[in-house]
Amino acid sequence: MKLRIKYIFTELKNMSCFVYLFSTICMILFALDFMLYRHGNHPLESIPGFYAFYGFIGCVLLVIIAKWLRAVLMRPENYYHKTESKIKVPYNNSEAENVDL
């Protein structure tokens, strides 16, 4: 029993349940826009679903543009390291690379 609770996020069935639940919450939030009164300082704010659309479209654009940027900006991991590794440093504790001393 304990194991099943522990690994709740890995099972595919649970994941699709989670996605459905999440989408339902989003739809409810969207619907609330029509039910609750909302004051705003800006004309855009009074459009129903403005924040929802802005958040969604903004993030999709963010990821797509970032993917394009990768084509321009991405280099191998040791891109800078090649030249730097020729120079000797005072101490180089490569075993301590990832741990506190």
Contact residues for another protein, defined by CB under 8 A? 6-7, 9-10, 19, 22-23, 25-26, 29-30, 32-33, 36-42, 45, 49, 51-60, 62-67, 69-70, 72-81, 83-85, 89-94, 96-101
CB of 33 to another protein, least distance (A): 7
Do 35 and 27 form a contact (C-beta atoms < 8 A)?
no
CB of 94 to another protein, least distance (A): 6
Angstrom distance (rounded) from CA 49 to CA 20: 20
